[in-house]
Structure formats: C-alpha cells, structure tokens
Amino acid sequence: MNWLEITISVRDEAIEAASAILLEAGAKGVAIDDPFALTKVENQKGSWDYVEAKPPVDPDAEAQVRGWFQDSEKFPALFEEIKAQAALLNSYGLDAGSSRVRVFQVEDENWATAWQQYYKPFRLGKSLVIRPHWEDFVLEQNDLEIVLDPGLAFGTGMHPTTKLCLQALEEYLPRGASFLDIGCGSGILTIAASKLGAGNLIAVDNDPLAIASARQNLKLNGLTGKVNLIEGNLADQVKEPVDLIVANIVADAILSLLAQVRELLLPQGIFISGGIINSRKEEVVLMIKEESLEVLEIKEEGEWVSIIAQKE
C-alpha cells in the first residue's frame, strides 16, 4: 500500500491551524519541520533537550506541516478540500504566508522512516521524557521515560493535544488510580499513566493500526500483559468503572461519549478530554456540565483545548 504526504507551507502563526486541517482530514500522523525551532528552544530553556535545527538565513522562511494519508480513490477530493481550507488561513486573521499545499508519494516500506528525522527526545511537564526508541537520551534522577515507536498511529507527544493531556495526567492522576484511555492511538497516555503510578489500566481504539502500535509501545516500556488493550468503538466494550478517563480524540466523539463517561467514572472520578479545537470549547463545556460533571480546569495551547472535569 502506498502512502501520500500532504505538506502545507505556512508561517509560524499558522502552524497549529495547518496541523488541525490535516488531522481533521484524517491524517495518520503529523510532523512539523519548523525552521525557527532552535530559536524557540533557546527562548524556552528546559522544554527540549536537543533539536536538530539551524536558525534560518531567511526571516520569511516557512514551516512545513506534513500529514500522511493512505492512497485511495477518495484522495483527489480530499486533497482539493485541504487546499481550499489552507487557502482560507489568511482570511482568519492569521499571517499564514503562502499556505502552499503539495503532495508527495511515500512508498509503504519507507513510511516508518519518512518522518523520524523530525522526532527527537524531549521533556514535558515536571518529570516526563518522551524518547523515540531509535534515539539515545541520558536520564536524570526522577525522570519518567516513555519510549515510543509511534508507527502509523497519531500520538508522539509533540502535538498540543497530547501535550495538554500529558500535563493534565501529571496533575490529576492519583497513584494507584484505575485508568481508561479512549482512543489510545500509540498508547502514549496509557504508558504515561503507568509511569505516573496508575493501577488497573485499560486502553481502547477502533483502529487496528493503532492497536498494533500501542501493543508494540507497551512492549518497549515493559508493560506487555499489564494493560487491557481493546479494539472497539469508544467505550462500548468497557464495563468496569475507573478513577480517571482520558479521551484525546475530537470534539464530536467526546460529545457522543459523555453519557458513557459519567457512567464509567467512579465517584469523584476525573475526566480529561483533548483534541478539541478552540472554536468548539464552549459547546463541549456546556455538554460536560449537562452530564453533571464539574469543570475543574481548561488548558489551552494554540488552537487546542483540553478540559478537565470531575464527577460530582
């Protein structure tokens, strides 16, 4: 099977919006080749440990936001829709630059390495270290390492949706808590929950590619046989109430899931929702409250929102 890479060229201000376009179109992964990455790191010491990037000579250089899609008869129409959405970025008040959209073919056997050059070890939150398995990294005392081979599944920890959920887990997951990850993708949030001290672990995804990726990553982190990994739709196959549920998916899926969340949460249980575009924030907050869940905090980064709520 062949894979197709769609690249949107934008200025820094529109990187998150371009990422959202690709993800909502169904990209099986997104990588950002940002020529200003090193400058950003130097301005935010401590968030990254090393980045393979050089300051650009041209101050007008654009980032390349890359998404990967399976080739199919539906792809031409999908590509035209992405081009149309990218063309509107400047009209939203963003300095998006050229918003140029291109497509490249990636052979299936080259997929696994097509994006690895953009993915390096980095720190997140107070103690988490995300390390792709092909990279080396020297841990410090109290570091909690998550080793990943994301494969075809979204969930490297670099995208704001995943970062916000990981930060929320650090803050709200009690040690020994039972845990459910709905839409687990690469398994990164489940692995983080284990490293942070969660007890009974359940992870669900409806994509067999994601399940395969999560299974491999659980193995890399010594968690084979320690997580109930389920292929299924949302939480339909989960019957056991838990202390904390995380769903880093999309707003529509979260809205359809809320009644199940309320039933599956133990008293005082925590629900962390992510993958929500800022424009849908108020709608999701309203529906969360209608399910008798108290909103504790709303975390935001760029165009993305994570909402933390608690069962009353």
Interval 83-98: pLDDT, tens: 999 999 988 888 899 9
Tell me, yes or no, whether 107 and 124 share the same domain.
no
For 113-169, the pLDDT digits (tens) are 655 666 677 888 888 998 888 778 888 888 899 998 765 445 666 678 888 999 999
Tell me, yes or no, whether 135 and 106 share the same domain.
no
Asked whether the predicted pLDDT for residue 180 surpasses 70, the reply is yes
Asked whether the predicted pLDDT for residue 51 surpasses 50, the reply is no
Asked whether the predicted pLDDT for residue 172 surpasses 90, the reply is yes
Among 51-55, 69-73, 75-79, 204-208, name the most confident range: 75-79
Q: Is the dihedral of CA 23, 27, 29, 31 positive or negative?
A: negative
CA-nearest of 14, 160, 144, 152 to 90 is 14
User: What does each C-alpha distance from 119 to 7, 12, 99, 108, 135 come to in angstroms?
Assistant: 17, 18, 23, 19, 9
Domain stop point among 117, 145, 168:
117
- DSSP string for 158-223: -SHHHHHHHHHHHHH--TT--EEEES-TTSHHHHHHHHTT--SEEEEES-HHHHHHHHHHHHHTT-
CA-nearest of 208, 37, 21, 216 to 120 is 37
Identify the weakest region by mean pLDDT among 33-37, 56-60, 186-190, 295-299. 56-60
Tokens of 15: 């990187």
Asked whether the predicted pLDDT for residue 218 surpasses 90, the reply is yes
Q: Measure CA of the first residue to CA of the last residue in the chain; give whole Å.
A: 48
Tell me, yes or no, whether 138 and 204 share the same domain.
yes
Tell me, yes or no, whether 112 and 126 share the same domain.
no
Tell me, yes or no, whether 142 and 219 share the same domain.
yes
Tell me, yes or no, whether 153 and 185 share the same domain.
yes
Starting at the earlier edge strand, list the strands of the sheet with 265-277. Answer: 228-231, 201-205, 179-182, 242-248, 265-277, 304-311, 293-301
Domain count, the chain: 2
Identify the weakest region by mean pLDDT among 58-62, 182-186, 214-218. 58-62
CATH number where 103 lies: 3.30.70.120
CA-nearest of 29, 31, 51 to 40 is 51
Tell me, yes or no, whether 67 and 186 share the same domain.
no
- Alpha-carbon distance of 299 to 46, in angstroms, equals 20
Residue 53 has a pLDDT of 43
Residue 293's domain comprises 119-311
Tell me, yes or no, whether 102 and 33 share the same domain.
yes
Tell me, yes or no, whether 81 and 143 share the same domain.
no
Burial class (CB in 10 A: 0-12, 13-18, 19+), 157: buried
Residue type, 149: D
Domain stop point among 56, 86, 117:
117
Asked whether the predicted pLDDT for residue 222 surpasses 80, the reply is yes
Domain stop point among 92, 117, 142:
117
For 264-290, the pLDDT digits (tens) are 999 999 999 998 988 899 999 999 999
CA-nearest of 62, 69, 64, 89 to 8 is 64
Tell me, yes or no, whether 268 and 162 share the same domain.
yes
CATH number where 129 lies: 3.40.50.150
Asked whether the predicted pLDDT for residue 44 surpasses 50, the reply is no
Tell me, yes or no, whether 144 and 128 share the same domain.
yes
Tell me, yes or no, whether 85 and 153 share the same domain.
no
